[in-house]
Each structure stands twice: as C-alpha cells, then as structure tokens.
Structure 1
Amino acid sequence: MDFTRILPEECLCLIISCTSPADACRSALVCPAMRSTVDSDAVWEKFLPSDYKSIILESSSPASLLSMGKKELYFRLFSHPILIQNATMSFQLEKGSGKKWYMLGARALSISWAETPHHWTWTPQPDSRFPEVAELNHVWWLEVRGRIETRMLSPNTKYAAYLVFKLNSTGAISFKDRTVDLSVSVDGIASRGAQKVSLASRDDPRHVRERGDGWMEVEMGEFLNECGDDGTAEFILKEIAGYLNQGLIIEGIELRPKDIDS
C-alpha cells in the first residue's frame, strides 16, 4: 500500500520534517512520488533555525536571501557562509543537520595591542571571507580572546572551537619548536584544561591541519552547549612566556558542531 496516496500532504510534511535534511533528501531519491512534498517550504522551514530570519537580516543582502524558497535557502546557507554583524562574523549551517555554524572574524576578537600599528596590521587577504584580517608584526605578550553568547548557538550540541590562521615566513621561524596555550570555557568554567600546541604544522601535525580554503586551523577545545539563553563561551589563545611573537595572521575563531545529537 502506497501511504503517500493515503495520508494528507500536511501529514507527510510533518513526518518528513521530524527527520533530518539528509534523510529528507534520501526519501526523495527512494520515493520519487514524494519529491514535491520533500521539496516544499513547509518541510524545509522546519530544518532552518527558528531565528534564521533575524540572522539573515544582519547580512548585506537580506532581501535576496529571504526571497528564496526554503530548500534553496538551506542549501545556500550550508554552501556559502554569509557575513553578519557588520561583516565581523560569518554564519552558515551544518549540511546534514542544519545546526548553526559561526566564525568570529578577527575584528570580533579581543586582541592585545591590536590597535597599535607597531604591533599589529589590519589588512585584506584575497582568500579570506572577511574584509580584513589581523597580521602580527611583533609582540612579547600574545593574547587573543573570542566570546559568544550560547543563545546564538544550537542547543544541546557539542561544539569545537578552531583558531583559523596562517604563519608567514617570519611566523614559521618565530613559532617553530615552541607552543601556545589554547583554552575554551563556558561561564568561566574550563571545558577541559588548557592545552599547549605548536602552531607550526611540521611541529604538531596531529593538531594543526590545512583547510580547503587556504588557511590552517587548530582545535582550541570543545564544549557542550547546554546553557540555553544564559551562557557565554570564551576561547583564548595565549603566549606570555617572554618570547618574541611574529608573523601570525588571524582570520578568526570558528565554532562548528562536532557531533549530531539524535
């Protein structure tokens, strides 16, 4: 018996929307008769975050995004991050689940001495999603902090924080054979102890990896977002051992879902 001919379309939409975006796409492949239902706005509206409209309104082209069909918008948001909050942050969706995925651009971070040109230079990079990145000239005290309110993230979701960076030729020498401290906390409570990691990929290939967008990344830590609307997550890079730090280029700190809850 073909239940797609018996159940009202509203029921089919509700059933499909209780699965996942990946499962919905599989359903359309397995049962072509359901394709129009699977592609409907009623289904894909459920897969988008409940506050997606307010997030999109912070972008540079909200009208064009909000005029899209809901499935088209979903696919657009996982394949092309949008810039929000005056282009200091980016937002996208995790492809298979629709979980929220952010990057705090360098301008959204608190960087010691960042407004002193002698120490840091703000410059555009052709392979960056942001208008400018922070390039370290030299400091003896390196400290970078990022913060985000947990209400902005998907609830009951494990997130990992990644420093997205490059080392220029000077940085490759400056950070060779030594480590920096990386830590993640929620409301001041460390999600796990600070770890010491080398930013030079040859020194620490287990932790530092090359991304597909031309940048490098290193995991700073992970945390479970179970604070609802009341928490604040903080991410810290620190090197205060008295070394001369040079040649680090920071694009931002990326927060992405690490696993998908059932």
Structure 2
Amino acid sequence: MGANISGAVVGGDDSGPSLRPRLDDIPESCAALILAQLNPPEICRLARLNRSFRSASSADFIWESKLPSDYKFIMEKVLLADVTLKNLQKKQLYARLCRPNPFDGGSKEIWLDKNTGGVCLSISSKALTITGIDDRRYWNHISTEESRYPTVAYLQQTWWLEVDGELEFQFPAGTYSLFFRLQLGKSSKRLGRWVCNTEHVHGWDIKPVQFQLTTSDGQHAVSRCHLGSPGIWVLYHVGDFVVKKSNALTKISFSLTQINCTHTKGGLCVDAALIYPSSVGKEAKSCS
C-alpha cells in the first residue's frame, strides 16, 4: 500500500497535479548561472524557453562577462562618452556596441562581433593617406552603396600606388588580422542594379602589390599578391598581430604599395582597412 501511495505522489494521477520538477521550476538565479556559461546567441535562444530564463537573460553580470575588457575605453575615449550609453543595462549596451558605431568624424567605425564580443574596426579610404589623392587626373572619391561609407577612393591610373594608414587603439588581448577591402573596376547603378565597369582595369597582373604592417611593440608582417577578380570586393590579408596586454595602447601602421614605375596601373577601388579578431577575420574573408 505504501508503494502505491508513493507512486501516486510522484507521478500524479487524473485527480491531482504532477509533482515532478519542470523547466519552469528552475530558480532565476540558477538559470542566470547557466546562461553565463553560454555565448550571446545561445543566451538569446534560451531566453525564449520560459519566464525564468527570459528574466535571467537580462542580468548585468552575464553581459558584463561578454563585453570586451576595454569596453569602458571604447565608451569614454572612442565614442566620447556618448550620453545615450551611460544608462543602458549591460545587455542593451552589448546590443548597441554590436551595431556599427562611427567615430573620428565618421571616418572610422567600431563594432563587436555579436557571437564572440570581439572588437572589430573599419578605417575608411578618407582616413587613409593616399599619394596623389587630390589630383583628379589620378584619383576620385566616388559614391557607393557597396561600402560602410558614402564614398570609396577610385584610381583611374597611376605609376606610383601608395596607400598608408595608422591607428592607435587599446585592444583586448588576443590575435588580430588586418585586411584591405579592394575591388578592381568601378561600380555604378543602372536600372536599379549595381554593375561594374572594368574598362580602366590594367597593370595588376604584371607586378604584385605589397601589403605591410608594423606595430609599436616591434611586430612586422609583409605579404604580396597580384590583385584579381574584377567586379568583386575582396578582403586582402595584410598580416596578423598579437596584443598581450589589454590595458595598453597599440599603435599600428599599415600600407598598400605598388611603386614599380615601369608600367601604369588603374581601375582600382579602395574602400577601407579592417581589423578583426583572427577567428572572426577568417569567417569574414571566406564570405567576401
């Protein structure tokens, strides 16, 4: 008889509710500890399970751990203490920083990779030093909808190609990859579609372009390749660098050159330089 009573209490019957634990019975504090071990997309998926997980998913301590170690530097120094950021919950701040955030007069952007919280940066062609950029015989800034920025730099023709950039930033510790986003050909919109004119593309198959980066702590990388794939935006890998101290400023200098004056080259669009955590950069390059 005792066994029958015990079975009825645990399993429930038609006349009363089951006493077996349900997902809804998990305390919010326990749900929060579970969520803290997951990445942001997983947190958002579990938040849809029930009220406990939904409430727990907004806990500041969860999202504080997902934000990069330098997020206060980004808020105060890069985004100039944007007042709209100060009163946000950490979850809202994470979502806001995952969007492109322009700075330095709109010539650069910073955002977080939504899956990892890694810091990503973009430096527009207007923030780069381009030899001859003010001479309309060689270069122009052309409007586009294929970039993060309103314009890209377009090279009609030159003997001497030299594009230099520089950035000083407080990166979280880790390995980063730097790319140039380039396209052979000039895009324009016709009948509502973007088409690429490759009429002036020439000279890139004769000698390779050299990419180079150096850091303030002595790291150096050089790569060379011929530019190709007319009509397609390509991320060209300049090199990688390692940040060991999260609280230190790292200065990066980088360049794109083809200064062999035995031939002209032209028909090149320069969009931007991009810096990604290396794991994110591999994915970005495969999608370019």
Q: TM-score range by the shorter chain?
A: 0.7 to 0.9
1:252 equivalent in alignment to 2:281: no
How far did 1:237 drift? 0.7
Distance 2:33 2:124 in 1: 37
Percent identity, aligned pairs only? 24
1:216 equivalent in alignment to 2:234: yes
Q: Which residue of 1 aligns with 2:227?
A: 199
Aligned residue among 70, 78, 94 for 1:74: 94
1:121 equivalent in alignment to 2:140: yes
> Rg: which structure is higher?
2
The alignment's TM-score, normalised by the length of structure 1, stands at 0.76
Contact 1:118 1:137 in 2 (8 A): yes
Q: Which residue of 1 aligns with 2:256?
A: 237
Unmatched 5+ stretches in structure 2: 1-20, 186-197, 281-288
| Superposed CA offset, 1:24-62 (max 9, x none) | 345546776322111334432442342243367459xx5
How far did 1:18 drift? 6.1
Unmatched 5+ stretches in structure 1: 203-208
Q: Which residue of 2 aligns with 1:183?
A: 212
1:166 equivalent in alignment to 2:188: no
Q: Which residue of 2 aligns with 1:205?
A: none
Higher relative contact order (CA 8 A, sep 6+): 1
Distance 2:102 2:157 in 1: 29
2:149 alignment partner, SS class = coil
Give the CA RMSD over aligned residues: 3.3
- The structure-2 alpha-carbon separation of the partners of 1:137 and 1:13, relative to structure 1 and needing over 3 Å to count, comes to same
Q: Which residue of 1 aligns with 2:17?
A: none
- The structure-2 alpha-carbon separation of the partners of 1:77 and 1:123, relative to structure 1 and needing over 3 Å to count, comes to same
Contact 1:58 1:85 in 2 (8 A): no
The alignment's TM-score, normalised by the length of structure 2, stands at 0.70
- The structure-2 alpha-carbon separation of the partners of 1:165 and 1:118, relative to structure 1 and needing over 3 Å to count, comes to same
- The structure-2 alpha-carbon separation of the partners of 1:46 and 1:227, relative to structure 1 and needing over 3 Å to count, comes to closer
